Amino acid sequence: MSLTKSRLLVIGCVWPEPNSSAAGSRMLQLLEFFLAENYKITFVTTAARSEFAVDLEKMNIASEVIKMNHPSFDELLKNVQPDLVLFDRFMTEEQFGWRVDENCPEAIKILDTEDLHFLRKTRIEAFKKNKNSIDLYFDAEITKREIASIYRCDLSLIISEAEIKLLQEEFRISSKLLYYLPFQLEPISEEEKINLPGFEQRKNFISIGNFLHEPNWNAVLYLKEEIWPLIRKELPGAKLYIYGAYSSQKVWNLHNEKEGFIVKGRAENAEAVMRNAKVCLAPIRFGAGLKGKLIQAMQCGTPAVTTSVGAEGIPGNLAWNGYITNNQQEFAKKAVGLYTEENLWKNAVENGFRIINSRFNKTEHQQEFSKKLAELIQNISVNRRENFVGRMLQHHQHRSTYFMAKFIEEKEKGKLL
């Protein structure tokens, strides 16, 4: 199979919204990579079209809304005849993977995990139950589902080195099935650094994140109840601006001008509000993957205070662009220090630039990913033969999912009561 003029089918969980979430930015980066590799792309999803989604038509990407448990998807596969299928999160592989196997058995299947969903979900549960997540994820149904999906695919893209390590060491998954691919970002030039607002030009704290994700809501609540009062005690005139897509009423209820806790909702231009803020606050207590808000803060020259979970997978061995602490008093103290001490602030900004340029260089990661794809395509028969667990899980999924899907199809046709 040639890397040129190949056909890629992307099965999305949602329409890509790069301005709403890190997941949306991630999908856009992948689409741009495959376009650069001369793939003809078709993007499909069961989700309703979104007004905030990227314009795929302008990118010369065909798109379509598809139905779950419906034979029309089989027809789409026959028409597209993809050489490669990219599943956006493991749920789409569960829903459509068996149909790909049935109609296009030669197509290479790649799973983009976005982040490990079982890790995020069990960390939420562990936080609520005051337990260690390792005590929960081995027995959780979602863990078994996601790991099974990884085995059924030819390659899974993992966004964080911490998650690669977990999959290899705790679950003994072969390195041949996993590929580390973080965010792919343009390096920050010296000219860009100079053009960013400086210490004296900036004011206020910022927190930003999509409120459809529970870790973001919990972090804002934690700020409101525990951390912000400590900061305001030291900086009575300071303000914290809360931005986030899909803000519910419970988020808006936190708004309090008197306390300097300002809820703004969706940011029309997330980069602009981040560039003008002096310090980013992200006390994330559970979650997984890479936190897009913290990556964006580094790109915008905005220091950040976060937790060990918030920073996970981002700096490697490099110094953080601010502070990492899981203690609320320490969190507030470090936030005040960054806000008031120019030298601390400037050093943090430089640390962030160094992380972006060293760890997320777009050209380097895309060149390596291109090589990996070529290698995968060349050795696909051998790789599949060696992945017997994946073939076994495929067999059992076909039996269970196939008959359930056919049952639903017939029921919708009105042939079953």
CATH of the domain at 77: 3.40.50.2000
End position of a domain, from candidates 341, 359, 377: 359
On whether residue 2 sits in a domain, the answer given is: no
For the chain, first and last CA: distance in Å? 47
Residues 117 and 12 in one domain: yes
Q: Tell me if 217 is assigned to some domain.
A: yes
Query: Over the range 278-308, which residues count as b (16 or more CB within 10 Å of their CB) and which as e?
Result: bbbbbbbbbbbbbbbbbbbbbbbbbbbbbbe
Where b means 16+ CB within 10 Å and e means fewer, 315-328 reads: beeeebbbbbbeeb
Task: State whether 242 and 316 are in the same domain.
Answer: yes
Please check whether residues 354 and 383 belong to one and the same domain: no
Return the pLDDT at 413: 63
Looking at the structure, do residues 291 and 380 belong to the same domain, yes or no?
Answer: no
Number of domains present in the structure of the chain: 2
Please, what sign has the CA dihedral across residues 402, 404, 407, 413?
Answer: negative
Whether residues 322 and 337 fall in one domain: yes
Residue 104 in any domain: the answer is yes
Q: 264 and 228 in one domain?
A: yes
Q: How many angstroms separate the CA atoms of 70 and 389, rounded?
A: 28
Domain match, 226 and 353 both: yes
The confidence score (pLDDT) of residue 49 equals: 86
pLDDT of res. 399: 63
Interatomic CA distance for residues 385 and 109, integer angstroms: 15
Residue 74 belongs to some domain of the structure: yes
pLDDT of 415 reads: 54
Same-domain check for residues 220 and 303: yes
In this prediction, residue 408 carries a pLDDT of 60
Tell me: do 95 and 129 sit in the same domain.
yes
300 located within any domain = yes
State the residue range of the domain holding 157: 7-184+362-412
Residue 222 and residue 169 in one domain: no
User: Do 259 and 402 fall into the same domain?
Assistant: no
- Which of these three, 359, 381, 398, is where a domain ends? 359
Q: What pLDDT was estimated at residue 210?
A: 86
State how far the alpha carbon of 181 is from the alpha carbons of 155, 184, 230, 320, in Å: 11, 8, 38, 20
54/17 same-domain check: yes
In a domain, 56, yes or no: yes
For every one of its 417 residues, what pLDDT tens digit does the chain have, with 9 covering 90 and above? Answer: 444 469 999 999 999 988 777 788 899 999 999 999 999 999 999 999 888 888 999 999 999 999 988 889 999 999 999 999 999 999 999 999 999 999 999 999 999 998 999 999 999 999 998 888 888 888 999 999 999 999 999 999 999 999 999 999 999 999 999 999 999 999 999 999 999 999 999 999 999 988 888 999 999 999 999 999 999 999 999 999 999 888 889 989 999 999 999 999 888 899 999 999 999 999 999 999 999 999 999 999 999 999 999 999 999 999 999 999 999 999 999 999 999 999 999 999 999 999 999 999 999 999 999 999 999 999 999 999 999 988 888 877 766 666 666 666 666 666 544
Is 417 part of any domain? no
- Residue 1 within a domain: no
Both tokens of 401, joined, read 């999912």
* pLDDT confidence of residue 390: 87
Write down which residue in 359, 375, 391 finishes a domain.
359
Global pTM reads: 0.89
